[in-house]
Structure formats: C-alpha cells, structure tokens
C-alpha cells in the first residue's frame, strides 16, 4: 500500500451531516475527495 499524506484530513463540519470524503481505491485511501456521503463499509489494512 503506498503511503498517502493528507495535510488537512478534516473535510466536514462537526455540526452538519458529512458531505465529502476521501476516495478509497484497491490500494487504500487516496488524497482525492468525493462530494457525496460514503456508504458504510470497512476494510482491513494488511501490512
């Protein structure tokens, strides 16, 4: 899994419903944002 550095990981307000999230790929989290709510899911980070 490539190392991704996200300078400012806070995308949403704590007082409103989330509207954006960081995109996940087959390799893990990316620094690309998506303007919609993420579906509920999980993944296992294997090292």
Tens of pLDDT, residues 8-29: 899 999 999 999 999 988 887 8
At residue 34, the pLDDT reads 94
Dist CA 20 CA 41 (whole Å): 16
Residue 19 CB contacts under 8 Å (≥ 6 apart), including other chains: 12, 35, 36, 37
pTM above 0.75, yes or no: no
At residue 3, the pLDDT reads 77
pLDDT top residue among 19 and 45: 19
Residue of 42, 23, 41, 45 lying closest to 32 (CA atoms): 23
């Amino acid at each position: 899994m490539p190392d991704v550095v996200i300078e400012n990981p806070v995308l949403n307000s704590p007082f409103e419903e989330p509207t954006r999230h960081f995109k996940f790929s087959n390799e893990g989290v990316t620094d690309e944002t998506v303007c919609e709510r993420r579906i509920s899911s999980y993944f296992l980070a294997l090292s």
